[in-house]
A and B are shown apart, each in its own frame.
Chain A
């Protein structure tokens, strides 16, 4: 049974990068339990998507709708508000541990560049913000969503470095569907990225034209198209 849902993640620590889309998060989490599912590391950014991607995608407890050539998930973009003054950069650094030169076989002990090539040293910035809560609106099965999110304990980028710790998940039923559009006193507010050529409410507000990913995996060139995005 499908309901109108409000999904929220309360975060314990700061979050790096951006919070994910809810359907991507569920697909990624459930793919781990489906032996035949396409794993994210099987998808190469520079190559076409696997032709059997849809067939091998694990079923997620979020309603999907076909609009033209797109299969769109009924869920909003992540909604969050970073605490003012908490936006900062931390750095991820790497330097080859040349103090271990004795571990390297004698004929391979060479002078190597550290400003380019394989063992280049780097110090890359990573955006980090204190975000108390991330919220998504969706249409789907409450039990299924709650169950799938049970073991998601970190969100965002560089989770293996300790960022984006989730304190708790809450999945509650709401009276109104706010997954794609939310009625407001000023007009209908756009809540997620949608194809620009679909039928849209006449009083739509809070949008701009863009070229963006429309279905998961949102970062792949094959799912990019003319779109309207919330702003």
Chain B
């Protein structure tokens, strides 16, 4: 039986995860939940976004370990990093290749874990990511039972964990005025000047809880892929949300529920050795499903000639 995990992340920097903008203010992503005194909107990190962070960490490991950089196609990157896309036309579906699906656990545990659209068939992922709810007064009821008992009686409210940060974009007539031509300086001075924008953020030192699950049992190497990816994501700063180029979204993350630490290490080592052992098969599998390598197919031999033509020969000869 696979162990469900609960990830606890403490924000180290402001966390930006927006839902849109009102005027020139970016508003935080919120969901309405039933609080103690009725419905209340709380900021949260979508499970979809968290799932992508884990997928990206798993992809990054495979890219380096399998030496994939510079040898993938766009469709292959799309499958590994985004879950692929549903095709139209002859490859749209109608058939399921059970052997290919069964082989996923061996050759590509990442796709078995998180699912994806292959040409002609859709693979259901096994891992269920969770929304990241902040630990605050209004979310007591959303948190796992084991955690509720540990919470202090005075938690911050959801409005206390959100604040607004302001960005400014300087206009060039200030510091760089001497670098501008007269015309450019005139144009800059005629403009609106400095642009100010504001964004709602989740404050540093806020606890977020992602309660995750499984929708089916998977082999150990697939569970190892998840533990490995979560650890890799956490080690690289546990970045959540956007604006990370401005230093936002850094968290300190840990597994609150799941397998004990020695088991996690064993699963990670198992996954790494599994990827190494199946490296060639994995690369071949990626090429095979998208038919990425050009193949020369022999056309049936014409009567009396005794020798088949390749498609390339036929094109050269002007055959239709």
Residues of A near any B CB (own CB < 8 A): 12-14, 32, 41-42, 44, 47, 83-88, 90-92, 94, 96-97, 100, 102-106, 108, 110, 112, 118-120, 128-130, 132, 153-154, 158-163, 165
Which listed residue, A14, A97, A132, A160, touches B31 by the CB 8 Å rule? A14
How far is it, in angstroms, between the C-alpha of A116 and the C-alpha of B29 when the chains are bound?
27
Q: Is the CB of A12 within 8 A of B31?
A: no
Q: Which of B67-106 contact A (CB under 8 A)?
A: 68-75, 77-78, 81-82, 85, 87, 93-94, 96
Q: Is the CB of B96 within 8 A of A118?
A: no
Q: Is the CB of A96 within 8 A of B82?
A: yes
Which listed residue, B31, B81, B142, touches A128 by the CB 8 Å rule? B31
Known contacts A83-B34, A153-B213, A161-B51; A105 and B85 CB within 8 A of each other = no
Q: Is the CB of B141 within 8 A of A154?
A: no
List the A residue with the shortest CB-CB distance to B127. A160
B100 → A minimal CB distance (Å)? 13
Q: Is the CB of A102 within 8 A of B82?
A: no
B21 → A minimal CB distance (Å)? 13
How far is it, in angstroms, between the C-alpha of A144 and the C-alpha of B310 when the chains are bound?
61
Say if the beta carbon of B129 comes within 8 Å of chain A: yes
Q: Is the CB of A85 within 8 A of B75?
A: no
Task: List residues of chain A with CB within 8 A of the CB of B19.
Answer: 90-91
Which listed residue, B48, B70, B77, B81, touches A106 by the CB 8 Å rule? B70
| Total contacts A-B at CB 8 Å | 127
Q: Is the CB of B73 within 8 A of A161?
A: no
Instruction: List 8 A-B pairs, minimum CB-CB distance, nearest first.
Output: A162-B47, A162-B131, A86-B32, A161-B47, A161-B48, A162-B130, A85-B39, A86-B39
Known contacts A47-B94, A85-B32, A90-B46; A103 and B77 CB within 8 A of each other = yes
Task: List residues of chain B with CB within 8 A of the CB of A105.
Answer: 70-73
Q: Is the CB of A88 within 8 A of B72?
A: no
Q: Write 14 A-B pairs (CB below 8 A) sorted by A numbering.
A: A12-B141, A13-B131, A83-B32, A83-B34, A97-B77, A97-B82, A104-B73, A104-B74, A105-B73, A130-B34, A132-B34, A160-B129, A161-B47, A162-B128
Q: Is the CB of B39 within 8 A of A90?
A: no
Q: Is the CB of A104 within 8 A of B77?
A: yes
Q: Is the CB of A13 within 8 A of B77?
A: no
Say if the beta carbon of B241 comes within 8 Å of chain A: no
Q: Is the CB of B74 within 8 A of A130?
A: no
List the B residue with the shortest CB-CB distance to A47. B94
Task: List residues of chain A with CB within 8 A of the CB of B72.
Answer: 103-105, 108
Task: List residues of chain B with CB within 8 A of the CB of A103.
Answer: 63, 68-70, 72, 77
Task: List residues of chain A with CB within 8 A of the CB of B70.
Answer: 102-106
List the B residue with the shortest CB-CB distance to A107. B73
Task: List residues of chain A with CB within 8 A of the CB of B210.
Answer: 162
A102 → B minimal CB distance (Å)? 6
List the B residue with the shortest CB-CB distance to A162. B47
Given contacts A12-B142, A160-B129, A162-B46, could you give 9 more A-B pairs where the C-beta distance is less than 8 Å?
A13-B131, A96-B77, A103-B63, A103-B69, A106-B70, A130-B34, A153-B128, A162-B128, A163-B131
Contact pattern, B 212-234, Cβ under 8 Å of A = 1, otherwise 0: 11011000000000000000000
A162 → B minimal CB distance (Å)? 3
How far is it, in angstroms, between the C-alpha of A118 and the C-alpha of B79 when the chains are bound?
11
Which listed residue, B46, B68, B74, B142, touches A112 by the CB 8 Å rule? B74
Say if the beta carbon of B264 comes within 8 Å of chain A: no
How far is it, in angstroms, between the C-alpha of A91 and the C-alpha of B18 when the chains are bound?
11
Say if the beta carbon of B155 comes within 8 Å of chain A: no
